[in-house]
Structures are given as C-alpha cells and as structure tokens.
Structure 1
Amino acid sequence: MEGAPLLSAKLTRPEPVDRALPREQLIDLLWSLTDLPVTVVTGPAGSGKSRLVAAWADDSPGWDSIAWLTVDQDDRARPARLWQHLLAALRGAGVLLPAALLDLTTAPDHAAVTELAAVLSHQQHSIVLVLDDACWLDAEQLGEIEFLLRHAQSHLRLVLVGRHRPRFPLHRYRLTDQLSELRWSELALDAGEVRALFALHGVDLTPAALADVMEQTGGWLAGVRLCALAMADGSGVPALAGHDYVVDYFTGEILDRCTPRRRRLLAGVARLDTFTAELAAIVGGVEEGDVIADLEEAGAFLETVSEAQGTYRLHPLFGAVLRDRLPLPPAAARTAGLVAARWSARHGDLAGAVGHAAAVGAWEDAARFVVDDLAVGEVIVDGPAGRLTGLLAGMPAEPASPEGVIVAAAHALSHSDHPRAERLLTGNAWLPGPDAPLPVRLAACMVQQSVAYETGDAERLDAVTGAAARLLPQVDPGRIAVRPELWVFVLSGVATAHLRAGRLDEAAGSFAAAIRAARSERCGGLLAYCTQHLAFTEALLGRLRSAYDTAHRASDVVARTEALNRGPRHIADLALAWVAAERYDTTAAWRHLRTAEEGLATDIMPRESAYAATLTIVRSRLLRARGELPAALSVLRGAPPETSARLWVRHELDLAESRVLVAMGRHEEARTALARLDQERPEATLARGSALLAAGDPQRAVECAHQVLCLLGLPVGVLVEAWLLLAAGTARQGDHERAVEALRTAVGFTVDDGGTRAVHEADGALHQLLRRHATAADPVPGFSLRQAEVLRHLAALTPTEEIAELMDVSVKTVRTHIREVLRKVDASSRAEAVRRARDLGLL
C-alpha cells in the first residue's frame, strides 16, 4: 500500500502489564456483551479498559477474527491515515480486499466505503472490529464506520473503547436492543480485587488500610496500582491527592492535554460536590457548548449521580488534585461558591446550597438558605447525624444576622447543647419582630419552642407554640407538604404546653393531631414522643382502654425509631403502670412502674414534673393495695419539690394524700389536705364527700355525690367514684335498694375502661353491700355481664363448646368473649386469667 507508512503499534493489542490482575469475570461478561452488533466500553484514564478488551481478544477461541485498531489524535485530522490503518487491521483479520481498496492512498469516498461494506457482507467468517480510543474520531468518520456496520451487520461487530462515549449513533442501536455497554462503575475494582492487586505487589493490606485505599481511589485501577507502588517500601497508605505518582499521572494524562477553556471548566467544577450541566457552565465560565461533553473529552473522571436528574460528580481523588493544581484566587473561589450555592437553592437542593456556602465561609448565606427552606426543624429533629447538621458544623460562635442566630441555636439544639441555644436567643434582642419575613418568624418560634421545652418554661412554651400554630397556616401548602415535620413539631409543642398547664383534653387532642400528621421518616422521633405522651395523657384522663392500646403502639414506635428518638423513652411504661394500677392489676403495675422509674432515672432529657408525680401516685396506690397505708402516705409526702412545681400536679398529689389520710382515719390531716385542693374541681368535691362519709356524715357525703353527678362531660373515672360515693352513702343511711342501684351503675361504668381500683378502695359499707348482694348474675367489675359469665365458666374449667351451649350463643362468640377477658386481665392463657381474676378479687 502506498502512502503514509503503517504503524504496527496501532494494529497491535496492548501487552499485559507486569503483575496484572486477572479479571475473568469481566472477560466472561464481555463475551456475552459482544454477541450484539455494538459494544461500548468506557472509563476514565487508567481504568484498565483497553487491556481488559485486549485480554478478552487474547482469550478468543478463534471462532471470530478480531481486527484491532488504536485510534489517536492525528486520525481525526488525517482521515486517509485512519482508513489506511483500518483496512490494514481488517486485512490482518483475514478480510480479502479488492485491488482498488488496497491501492487507496487518500480518504475513501462514499463509493469506496460502500464497496468495503459489500466485501465484508460476503465474508465466510465473522469479524469483530475493535476501535480503541474511538473518542478521537469525529462524527463524520464514525458515520462512515456505522454505515459499514449497518450494511455488513451479519458479518461485522463493533467494539468501541474510550474514555467517554463516542459520537456514534448509539441511540439507534439501544432502541433496537443491539447495544451493550460496559461502564466505569463495572470496571472499578471491588475490595477483594484491591486486596489481590496489592498482594501481587507484595503488600498485605490491613482492613483499615483497605478501607482507606477504597475511599481514596473508589476502585480506580491506576490509582490502586500507584498506591501499591508507593507502599512497596512498607510505608502506610499515602494521601494520594498529593502524591507525586498520582499528580504526575493526572497531569500527564489529562491536564497537559486540556485547552485553556477546559482547564477553566475543570477548575470550576472541582469546587462542586455534584453538578448539572447548567451549574458546571456557570461556575466554569462556559457560555456555550455541551459542557458535559467537554468534560468527558477533557478526560475528566466523571461519575453519574443520577441519570434522571442529570447530575454528575468528579472522582474525589481527581477533584482534590484539580483543586491543588488549578487553584482559584480567594475572591474568585468565594464568588464561584456563592454562585453554586444560590443556583442550588433556586433548584431545590438545600444540602448543596448550604454545602457550597459553607465551603467558602459564607455562613450567613448558609443560614438564610436553611431558614428560607423551612428546614430549621430538620436541623433540630435529625440531630448530630443529620445532613444539614454536619454541613453547619463550622458556624461562627457569634452569628451576625437573625437567620445566623436562629440556625446556630438550632444546631446547638441538635447536639442537645441547650444552654448555648438559650444564650444565643436571650443574648440577641434584635431577633425577628412582627415585620420580619414569615420563614424567619416561624424558625424563631421553633427554636424558642425547643429551648422552652428543655428549660421547663411553660409560659414561654405556651406563647411560642401558639405563635407558631398561627404562622404555619400562612405558609404555602405545597411547602408544608414536603416538610410534614413542621406541623408535627409545632403540634407536639402545643400539646406539651397544654399538658404542662394541666389542660389534658386539649393535650390529648393535639398529640393525636400530631400523630396523624407524622407522615415521613424524619417524624420518627416526634412520633415516638407524641404517641407515648398521648398514652400518658389518656391514662391521666381515665381513658384506660385507649391509654393501654396507645402505650403498646408507642412501644412499637419507640423500637422502630430508635435512631431518631432522642426524647424520653419510658413514658409508655409510665402510662401502662397507671392503667394497671387503675385496673387493680398490681403485678403488672409494679413491673411497669419499675421499668418506668429505671428509664426516667437514666434518661438524659429533662423530666417533666408530671412524670415524677405520676410515678409517686402509682407507687402510693400500689402500697395502699398491699395495705401499707403509712408507706403510701410517706411516698406522697416525700415527693421532691420539683415534682409539684405545677399547680395541677400539686393538686393530684394533694388529692392522693387526702384519700390515703381518709383511709387511715386521720380526719384532721385529711381536712388540711382537702383545703389545699382546687375546690372547683369535681375530684375535690368527691374527696370531701369521702372524708365526710368516713367521719360519720353520710347525708353530706351523698350531697357531694349528687353535686358532682349534676355536672356534664365528666371523665369515666370521676363518674365511677361519684356513683360509688352515692352507693356507700345511701348504704350507710340504710337505703340498700338505692345503694345497690348506684353500685350497679358504678360497676357498669367500669365496663367501659376496666378501672376497678375505685371499687377496691371504696368505703367499708360498700364492701359489705357487695358481699351481701353479689349473685352469679351480678356483673364483675370491669366486665360486661356476658364476659363475667364466661369468666365464671372458665374458673369451673367448662369446655368452650359447653359454654356456648349453656349461654345459647355460638362457639365463635364465646371465643371472642374469652379473648376480651384475657385482654382485660392481661393474661395469655385461661388458667392465668382465672388466677389473675382471683388475685384481683373478681372471683
């Protein structure tokens, strides 16, 4: 062939390197991929793609002839040279070329390409044409090669190897399932291969060193090999971004080949964690052209983060080298960072915006992004492991703007540094006022809410949660929809304020609303808090069945959200202890009480005084159930001062103390305790009536009962106590018929929620009445008539079928009653249910 001399190196496959890592799995994969007409193998410089394809070709069993051509930069500028070598590669693979093509000395016209396609289509054997570094070819050259493939497809297959996808009509072949690809992610070494490659270099990696190498290189073959060479002298894993081996490789393979335009582009994107084409163009100062194609052609180690969103990143090692080798002046670096931050904020990438701003020390901008995106709750709720929390770690101690103060306080709260958060808020009198933007005012309320909660400032908590609840409806619903933690956060604060003020009904309603709003994973910790406190509040309200079910549900939520739940974790046990004590299940009550005490004693969060008061009251009731009245009184009187910091909590303690004093017959002391009660509350009226009854004045006791029963909307527990007081008073007056009716009414109310403690603690006259008038048909406290009958049959060891026959109901109905009996006495078997019922005095 006349013309330029043929370069044999362009027609020769790369030789294996010394201590090459065998990659049989990838070679096997290539055999399956190359069954299709087009195979594309792409990866950055040093990813081992060319030698992998060469190893695959060397492994060929001879069924196909493989033509190899390594393309270089000159081939784009000198088409005749390309075609001379391409024809030589085909002839070396056994293709018989006509004389006209053998004598070709210039770039072929389309007629010559057509003739070559005809020759290939009549080959007796299949040809695989490998074009290494195919990215150097322009679209016109690749178009002619695609023409060859299309018209000789049954006899020609194409393997394109390069640092990026060539300008070949890949879409056409992908659409018809005729394209296969092997990408950088598949070329990267895994941990086992990295260890094996180091072993070939005589280096034994420790697990920590292996993790370090993987983190720095990401499995990049050349980087791993260079690191192994650097460690051959026995030294530890080097910082590769500054190591001469790596820097020289990147400089020679990429930077020295870049145009000034592409160097500016690389310098800009090296400052970005992730980027899109638009953002890369902005920070790289590129006003036109395809910047992603520019980066790929520059040889950038480009990794796809999300194809759907069009986001990319540089290999971290390459990015670090670029930042060192292509530095920007401080002012330019800050400008680039702020441009990237504002672009990210506009496009909804809050973490990117904060990260870019933080990287250039623009902390006030970072704080403003957080506040404007309504993400202060995210910072507080996610805690130290949150994505924003980590990005904000370097914030200055003294922020210079309202947003900076708010976010710094939120960051302190995320680390449970409540004193610092309080100092930041109280030391800045210029925090946002009524004219401040809505996001700033809402964010300020949220950090104030957290500080008020932690410091126990009930008045402040009530004020700021109320303000936040008024502000939230003014926020665009679309923004609220993507941040459900806002409503949950505020509603939990509102509910807590109600609880601390003793507004239990309102607290229960707000906790329930917060639970309904907790629709995202971020709400896990808040959901655990609200579910536990709903159970606790329902228990205090006497809604025992609801409290019991909610407490068990809360325990499941706490276990499921362990990582997010940084608040009190044993409030559910406290609620269960209260419920069990009210049901007079002393065994379960002691168990739950001890668990709650242990949990609250070790909890790092501040304890609400209501928790300690509840513990005190439950322990006192259990001691009274044992007959240890002096001990029960001592527990109540020994409650620490902070336990009674709130008026309603103090009222509950005084109420419990007055009841114990009445039971002990210490009437003077009981009157003193009664005088401390809120006389407007029905519980105080009933306690006074019980004291009058014990002192021998049943008439006034009955009047107290009537006074309460005239009221509307009373909790079940108060109604039960009122009817019991009426029954005991009328019994002492000798009106047994009226007393029995009142007793039946009281017991009927206990069926709703199963609370029988008041029955057991009732006046002695009532116990005599119970013994005198109890029959097999009487209801068992806490059970319906049918359930009581089933319980008695269980005690008699009657089979289920026989119970159904005796009660004239279906077996299925009997089983339903049995399940309800087991639930009410907290038993798992019939025998246990009977034993518990006897312990509780129900049989």
Structure 2
Amino acid sequence: MSSAPVTGRRGVPRTKLTVPEPPSQLISRPRLLTVLERASDSMVTLVSAPAGAGKTLLLAEWARAHDASRIVWVSLDTDDNEDHRFWSALLDALSGAWPVAEECPLWHLTVPADPSMDPTFLADVANALDDLPAPALLVLDDVHELTDPRPLRGLESLLQRQPARLRLILSTRHDTHLPLARVRLADELSEIRAEDLRFSPDEAQDMLAVTGIRLRSEQFRLLLEQTEGWAAGLRLASLSLSGTIDHAVHDRAVADYLIDEVLLRLSSDLRAFLSAISVCEQTSAELAAHLSGRADAGALLDAIAEQTSLVFRVESTHWYHVHALLRAHVLSELVRQYPGRATQLHGAAAAWFATHDLPALAVDHAAAAGDTAQATTLMHRHALSLALSGEHELVRRVLDMLGGQTVAADSLLSLVSALLHLEQHEPRPADRDLAHAEAAWPPQPPPELVSLRQLVRSRQALDTGDIADFVKVTGGLDSAPGHHLDAPTMFLRGTALLVTGRREAGREQLRAGLATARDAGHDYLATQCLTMLAGLAGMEGDLTAMVTMATAADRENTRHGWHPPVAASAMLAYGALLHAEPAECLRQAHRTVSRGQDSDPIGTSGLHVVVETLRGAAEFELGERIAGARRIHEARTSGNLLRLWPEEVALCAVLEHRTALLLGWSAAAGEALRWADAGIPGTAEIHLMRARTQLSQGRREAAAKTIQPVLTGAISPVMPWSVIDAWLLSCEVALGAGDDPSAQRTLRHALTLAQHLDVLYPVVFAAPDVINLLTTQLGRLGRVERFADRVFTLRRALDVAPVTPLTPREHAVLRLLPTLRSLEEIAEDLTVSANTVKTHVRAIYAKLGVTQRRDAVAVAFEHGLLENGRPQSR
C-alpha cells in the first residue's frame, strides 16, 4: 500500500512482522503441513511444544507455501508485555494483510494509552475484522513471552468477540492462560502438540541425511530413543556425531541449549526440585515428594510441565515423564557436583518402588545405587518374574553388578542366569550356570527351587533339539504355586505335546499358559505362547488366526524392544506369501535373523530353511527368478533337514518343485520330490508334485490319474492349501484335453476352496491358460466373483509375468538355438523332422513372448532357461 499507518502507534521493527526464512536444510514435514492446512479453517489453532520442537520452522514453511498475502505474522518477545507496543505490532501486521483495504479501520485506528482495558478500542478492532472481505490468518509466534496480564486480557477480549474473519494461530512453549475452553467446546480449536511435532523415524533419517550422517540401525534407534524425536536434540546431536552416540546426546551444544532455553527460565527452587527427581525417568507427585522432601511436589511438577513441556503428564495416568535429554543433563550435573546425593536418591527411589510393587524399577535403582545387599534381596524376590516378563537386559545387568562369585554361590541366581543364557541360545554359559547351581545346592531346597531347576533343564533340552530328552524332562515338571512357574511349565508341556503329535492337548496347555502369563504380567512368556499357537494355526491351515496371533506377538516384541521376533516374522512372511504379497513376504523374511541350526529350539528348528525358502519364493514372484529359485534350492541343501516339521518339509518341497519346473530345472525338481517323499510319503503334496512333473512332460492322463485321490479326499494334505493347487492342476489338465466344462468346474472348486481358506497365492500365480479361463468366466462366478476380483487386483498391482514351462523336447531345441545350426541341422541332430522342430520353435516363441530366434535366446538367458549355452538343470 502507498499510505503509511497513522501515528499514535509505536514503531515496530519490520523483522517482527516478517515470516522467518526457513534454513536451506529444512526438513519438510508434509504430514504436519496437512494438519495446519486443515486447522486454518478453525477460529484458533494452538501449536504448543517445548523449545526446539520446530514450531516456528513448521509455521514458517506453512506460511511461505500458503497464500502469503493472507498470512499475518508477529514474532512476540518480552517487549510485547508493554500493552501499547503489543497492539501497535498487531495492527501494523493486520494492516498489511490482503483483505485490508486502505479505507479499513484497521489501517487508521489509533492505539490508546491502555488498549487492552479500552472496550471501545477492542470493539473497533473486532468490528473491523468482521468487515473484512476474506479471513486473515494471524500467526502469533512465541505467545509464552506474554506474561503481563494486560496484552493477555486484550487477546482474551478479542477471542470472546469471535471475529468471523480472523483465524488465529498461536505458537507457544506451554499452554497459555487464554480461555480456550469455550473455543474448544465450540469445536473451533485445532491443536498441534509436542507428541505431534516429534520427529518420526523417517523424518529423523531425512534430517541426518542432509547433514551427511549415516548411522547403523542400532545407533539410529539409540539416538531416536534418547532424543525422543525432539527436533533440537536431533539437530544438536547430529552436529556431534563424529564421536559416539552417547557423546553426541551429551555434547556441550546440547547442554548449552538446555541451560539457556530451559533451565535458566526456571526458578532456582524448581531447578533444585528437578535435580532431586532426575534419578527417575518417570515420577508421580508422591514419589517426587519422597525424593525431594517437598509436600508441594505435585504443584511443582505442574509448574515445570507448564514452563518447559519437557516434563509432561503421561496421558491418562498420574505419572510425569522427564524428557531423556533434560533428565540426562540434570542427572549428570547432580552426579558431578554431589555424587553421594545421587546415590542416596537412587536408594530412596529403590525403596519407594519396592513398597509400591514395581520390582523392575526397584531393582534398577538399587543397582544404580550400588547397594548389593538391597539388590540381592530384590533379585531373590523378583528375578524369575522379571525374566519371564522380558526384563532380560535389566536382570543380566544386575547379575553382572553382583559379580560372578556372588551368582555362582547362589543356586537361585545361577538358575535364573542359566535361563537367560538359554533364551539367547548360549548353551555353554547355561551349562556353567547349571553346574554352579548344583554345586551351591542347599541341603533342604525349597520346593520352588527344585521346580525351577527342572524347568531350566527342560528348557535346556528344548534348546539342544533332543526331542526324546525334552519330552522326558518336561514330563517331570511340577510347578510350585505362587512362584511364577505355572505359565512356563504350561508352555513347555504344550510344546512337548506338539512335538509328539498331540496337537489338541498341546493347544490347551499353550492357551492356559498364555492366560496365566498375561494374568501374572509375564509379557515375554505370553508372546512365546502366542507365537507357538500361531505356528499351530498355520500348521492346521487357519491362515487368519496364524497372522492375527503372529502380528500380536510381533507387536509385543517390537513394543518391548526384545530380540527380533524370528518365528513371528517367519509366520508373517508365510502369511504374506499366501496372500500373494511377495514384497511384504520379502520384508518380513529380511527381519529374521539366522541364529544357526544348532541353536534353534525345537519349536523353531526349521526356521532358517523355511525363511530362506520364503525369501526365494518371494524373489521368484517379483521377477528375480534365477536368484529366487537358487535360494530355495540352497536353503534345502544347506539346512538341517532332520529337524523340520512335516508342514515345513511340504512347504519347502512344493515351492522348490514348482519354481524348478517353471524354469525347466528338471533335475532339481526331481531331487525336491525325492526328498519330500522320504519325509512326507503318501501325502497329497507328493501326488501334487508327481502330477506336476507328468503334466510338464505332456502326460496329461497320467497327471489326471495321479491327482485324482487328492481331489476326492482319499489322500490328506499336510498343508490344507495344497488342495487348491490340486484343483488348479486338474483345471490345466482339462484345458489341455479341450474339456472346457470340466475345466470350468475344477476352476470353481479351486476358487471356492481358496476363498474359504483366504489363500490367494496359487490362484494369482496360476498357469497362463488357467488365468485366461478365469478371465473369460468373470461376471459368471457367483459367490466367488468378489474373490476373483481380488485375484485380478493383485495381478495388476504385481504386473505378474507368466512363466510357461517348456517341455523336455522344447528344451532340447532351445539348447541348440544359440548355435549357428539351421533348423534343418537341429532336426538332424535330434533325429526328428524339420517340421517338428519348427513346431517346437513356434511353441518356444509363444511361451517366451518373442517372435525371432535372437530374442528367444536373450529371454532364455535372462530367465535362466539357458546358462553358458545350456539349459539350466540342478
């Protein structure tokens, strides 16, 4: 505008009214920009988070991406507590907004001496805003700087008048004293809180990437955990990452920021109180009073929470959380200046947690206090329960603190140590601990100690894979009521029943163990029971139950930060493959960690072989056909095949046989069939693989005869979904014979069964002629129509490329195509007519999707049908 505002207002620096320039390495956060965009329709948007959370950067990015002419920005500071200056800034800012014409009263209003107490002035401002042709978006950054009641009173009056054309965006380090309850009740308040502003793992990775920082996954996890996604903490730590992660989060830059922006803004009284409670990650008012000796601890916690937002109440609880970086800094200063005081506070915290039935925290603080007597007493009372709850790192740390001699001289602690080593598949240390327990065995052991020794021996037998010994030892298990052994006993008994084929009895024991573990709060043991039940559901073909329980177990493992849930991930990979989601199958398979066959417990003994087979199958279906098929083959030939369940044998053999036949690796296919026949003879899977071999050789009648007992139910499958494959193969046979009615009927059988089992894999990756038939039947499939739609949706998403197997004679012709021989010379080599060779060549071209010899050779090499000029056979 050409005019200048009227006099009577204080001069306002232009920088106060200018949207800050985002830094060149700004990490854009689209998820929050979307929230802001939606929130701008609300009368008030509150962005409340601690210093360094990224409030100003977020609002600046949003403002600069928005229609800049409608954005009104005021950066507040302590000078704005002078009421006249505050209103001068607001009116100058509003006067520059696009909806404000030169004749608008906002442009000409004179600021009175005491504006926030002048009802006429406030009414004039509200009326002027009401008359704007379009809403103005007023951003007030750093509202926490307003501490004088007068400007706050003026803002409150403006809110009470609710100007229809004003959208107010408030940025503050803590909630203001403005009366927002009425706005919230009218559903006109949008809020972005500290938890919303925390950097997600992806956003944190982006921040590190722009600074050129590359961390290992464990380093990154630790950095994110210690900074809790706090933007300033991540930025400052990233500047120091030339050293260790621990050094980075305790760097001088981080400390200076905390001192300048947080601690110095607190009174000395609050800083002393914060120091006293810094030994605890979370505290209640009662615990804080116990540690600090302050009867007003609750009020002090609320004051710190309000002034920093780095101490905040945990939602729906009476506990307060102290941000990890703030706590680490304050505690390190306490230890540096008053080491005896820190030890005393840890001891006091241990005693308080012990009397309030919080054993993990009690043990942790006793160890931090270095009080071996208190730690030993607590470990005798709680070590086993803590181990069953998954507090393995804590228990191991405290055992190490007590020292090897103390543990070795104590049978209970030695047995708990052995149990932890067995959970980590460390047999030698476990053997040593068991020997120590025997050497220190008391003359008259209590019943619970005897039961614990038996349980550890049973767990040892499970880990070594000696099924006979495991079943024998487990048969002697007898839990001692009230000593936490009921649930682990049920788990081991259930596992023993499963390995001896008594599935229903095993299921009952595992379900009882799961319920008991949950009631006792033994989360780790509960996930073990849940994982075994998921595996049992998978064996019985209940894919939905398997995936549901495996997902729940995986979620618990992840939430607690326990070791990678190998069995749960393997089942999720299996479920993803059967749902025809090879990319998800591959992702889950990658999460597993091979621990070596000798350390696999009985319940998961085939995991390495199965996971590698699933990885190979997923790679194959994603187009990496050679790599995938080789991985499947190598999984079987390199694994400990004596320790596979029948279901695992069936899965690995069926997948290897299928991929080998599709690639023309007849030798590998035959090898897989012979291996499976030794492990699961007479099953539907054996008939399926034999029929597939016969069909690949053009022996349709033999294939139909071989598969018939599977279709009639005369022969049972190991994997229920194998019958889907059997019906699809029968459909192929019928199509090859030109029997369309029979092909349509068998296809419907396959679809009906696949829909019932919720298994899509065999149908989605069915033979091309079966898919062609399914295409012609769309719209006439009745109850399975929706399932067929799912099949085609997945095929489109995967861009499935057909793999049509070549016959042995076609392979013989293909092998000679890279040579310089003519078709007539090839016919002579094969002792067949030239016309026969030409027929085979046309079939090869059709199956490979090419039209000339050179392309056929190229595609054959690409798909592994030729290698070094010869068809691949393994």
Q: 1:389 to 1:92 in 2, by over 3 A?
A: same
| Distance (Å, rounded) in 2 between the aligned partners of 1:162 and 1:75 | 14
Judging changes above 3 Å, is the alpha-carbon distance between structure 1 residues 334 and 442 closer, same or farther for their aligned structure 2 residues? farther
For 2:798, the equivalent position in structure 1 comes to none
- Give 2:844's aligned residue: none
Q: Which amino acid aligns with 2:24?
A: R
SS at match of 1:263: helix
CA distance in 1, matches of 2:231, 2:121: 41
Say if 2:191 is the partner of 1:184: no
Computed over aligned residues only, the root mean square deviation of the Cα atoms, in angstroms, reads 5.9
Task: Identify the residue that residue 103 of structure 1 maps to in structure 2.
Answer: 112
Aligned with 2:489: secondary structure?
A: helix
Partner residue in 1 for 2:642: 598
Distance 1:494 1:195, change over 3 A: closer
Structure 2 unaligned regions, length at least 5: 1-5, 462-467, 516-523, 551-565, 571-591, 608-635, 645-680, 683-700, 730-874
In structure 2, relative to structure 1, the CA distance for the partners of 1:137 and 1:362 (3 Å cut) is farther
Give the aligned partner of residue 522 of structure 1: 525
Distance 1:4 1:513 in 2: 81
Q: Is 1:32 the counterpart of 2:76 in the alignment? A: no
Q: Distance in 2 between matches of 1:165 and 1:341?
A: 34
- Supply the AA of the counterpart residue of 2:512: A
> After the TM superposition, which of the residue ranges 345-354 and 127-136 deviates more from structure 2?
345-354
Say if 2:390 and 2:525, in contact at 8 Å, map to a contact too.
yes
Q: Partners in 2 of 1:429 and 1:513 — Cα distance? A: 34
> Larger Cα Rg: Structure 1 or Structure 2?
1
2:403 is equivalent to residue 396 of structure 1: yes
User: Which deviates the most, 324-333 or 215-224?
Assistant: 215-224
Work out whether residues 364 and 401 of structure 1, in 8 Å CA contact, stay in contact via their aligned partners in 2.
Answer: no
- In structure 1, the residue matched to 2:430 is 418
Q: Residues 155 and 508 (structure 1 numbering): CA distance in 2 closer, same or farther, change over 3 Å? A: closer
- SS, match of residue 117 in structure 2: coil
Which residue matches 1:294? 303
Aligned residues: 563
Residues 1:332 and 2:327 are matched in the alignment: no
Aligned partner of 1:132 in structure 2 is 141
Shift of 1:39: 0.8
Distance (whole Å) between structure 1 residues aligned to residue 412 and residue 88 of structure 2: 68
Distance 2:436 2:295 in 1: 44
TM-score of the superposed pair, with normalisation by structure 1: 0.52
Aligned identity (percent) is 24
Are 2:227 and 2:249, in contact at CA under 8 Å, matched by a contact in 1?
A: no
Q: CA deviation at 1:351?
A: 4.0
Superposed CA offset, 1:109-133 (max 9, x none): 5665455444543444433333222
Contact conserved, 1:128 with 1:156, CA < 8 A, in 2?
yes
> 1:59, CA displacement in angstroms?
4.5
**Distance (Å, rounded) in 1 between the aligned partners of 2:137 and 2:416:** 62
Distance 1:18 1:548 in 2: 58
Q: Deviations over 1:225-273 (max 9, x none)?
A: 4456557xx8897822343322222222222222122212332443333
Gap change, CA 1:87 and 1:339, over 3 Å in 2: farther
Matches of 1:247 and 1:241, distance apart in 2: 9
SS of aligned partner of 1:150: helix
Give yes or no for the alignment of 1:819 onto 2:713: yes
Distance in 2, matches of 1:230 and 1:266, equals 26
User: What are the residue-to-residue correspondences of 1:133-152 with 2, within 5 Å?
Assistant: 133-137=142-146, 142=152, 144-152=154-162
Give the TM-score taking structure 2 as reference length.
0.51
* 1:321 matches 2:333: no
SS in 2 for 1:23: coil
> Which residue is 2:486 aligned to?
487
Partners in 2 of 1:104 and 1:50 — Cα distance? 31
Q: Quick one: which amino acid aligns to residue 346 of structure 2? A: G
Q: Secondary structure at the match of 2:249?
A: helix
- AA aligned to 1:35 is D
From 109, 115, 121, the equivalent of 2:130 is 121
How far 1:66 sits from its partner (Å)? Answer: 1.5
Do residues 153 (structure 1) and 163 (structure 2) align?
A: yes
3-state SS in 2 of match to 1:36:
coil
The residue that corresponds to 1:68 in the other structure is 74
State the Cα deviation string for residues 739-774 of structure 1 (Å, max 9, x = none): xxxxxxxxxxxxxxx99xxxxxxxxxxxxxxxxxxx
Can you list the C-alpha shifts for 1:377-414, whole angstroms capped at 9, x where unaligned?
A: 66269596x77556765443205988756655544554
Q: Hey, what does 1:16 align to over in structure 2? A: 21
Letter in 2 for 1:36: S
1:236-255 map, 5 Å? 239-255=247-263
What is the Cα deviation at residue 362 of structure 1? 4.2
Alignment of 1:215-226 (within 5 A): 217=227, 219-226=229-236
Change (3 A) 1:512 1:223: closer
**Aligned match of 1:635:** none
Q: Is 2:358 the partner of 1:358?
A: no
Q: Indicate yes or no: 2:203 matched with 1:204.
A: no
Determine if contact 1:412/1:420 at 8 Å carries over to the other structure.
Answer: no
The C-alpha deviation readout for 1:188-215, integer Å capped at 9, x for no partner, is 4556666766676xx5333449937656
1:134 deviates by 1.6
SS at match of 2:176: coil
- Cα distance, 1:448–1:13 mapped onto 2, change above 3 Å: farther
- 1:317-346: CA deviation from partner (whole Å, max 9, x where unpaired): 333322223436344323433444455556
The question of whether the paired residues in 1 share the 8 Å contact of 2:51 and 2:173 is answered with yes
From 592, 601, 607, the equivalent of 1:567 is 601
Is the contact made by 2:418 and 2:431 (CA closer than 8 Å) also made in structure 1?
Answer: no
Is the contact between residue 33 and residue 180 of structure 1 (CA under 8 Å) also seen in structure 2? yes
Name 1:544's counterpart in structure 2. Answer: none
Match of 1:259 in 2: 267
Report the residue type matching 1:329 in the other structure.
Y
Would you say the 8 A contact 1:358–1:392 is kept in 2?
no
Alpha-carbon contact 2:455-2:477 (below 8 Å) kept: yes
Q: Could you tell me how far apart the structure 2 residues matched to 1:89 and 1:527 are?
A: 61
- Partner Cα distance (1:195, 1:206) in 2: 9
SS at match of 1:261: helix
Report the 3-state secondary structure (helix = DSSP H, G, I; strand = E; otherwise coil) of the residue aligned with 1:130: strand
Secondary structure at 1:519's aligned position in 2?
helix
Amino acid at match of 2:42: L
Alpha-carbon distance in structure 1 between the residues aligned to 2:60 and 2:474: 74
* Aligned match of 1:48: 54
CA contact (8 A) 1:127 1:155 kept: yes
Q: Secondary structure at the match of 1:44?
A: coil
Q: C-alpha deviations, 1:462-484, integer Å up to 9, x for none?
A: 99844x35x24xx8xxxxxxx8x
Query: What is the one-letter code of the residue matched to 2:332?
Result: D
Give the alignment partner of residue 183 of structure 2, picking from 173, 176, 181: 173
Cα deviation, residue 148, structure 1: 1.3
Unpaired runs of at least 5, structure 1: 435-440, 476-482, 535-546, 574-591, 601-753, 756-793, 801-813, 833-843
Closer, same or farther in 2 for the Cα pair 1:237/1:463, shift >3 Å?
closer
Question: Measured at CA, do residues 422 and 183 of structure 1 come closer, stay the same or move farther in structure 2, by a change above 3 Å?
Answer: same
CA distance in 1, matches of 2:422, 2:443: 17
Superposition map of 1:269-288 within 5 A:
269-276=277-284, 278-280=286-288, 282-288=290-296
Q: Secondary structure at the match of 2:50?
A: coil
Residues 244 and 81 of structure 1: CA distance in aligned 2, closer, same or farther (over 3 Å)? same
User: 2:109, 2:44 → 1: CA distance?
Assistant: 28
Flag the 1:137–1:496 CA change in 2: closer, same or farther, 3 A.
closer
For residue 598 of structure 1, what is the amino acid of its counterpart? L
Question: Which moved further from structure 2: 247-256 or 85-94?
Answer: 85-94
Distance 1:429 1:329, change over 3 A: farther
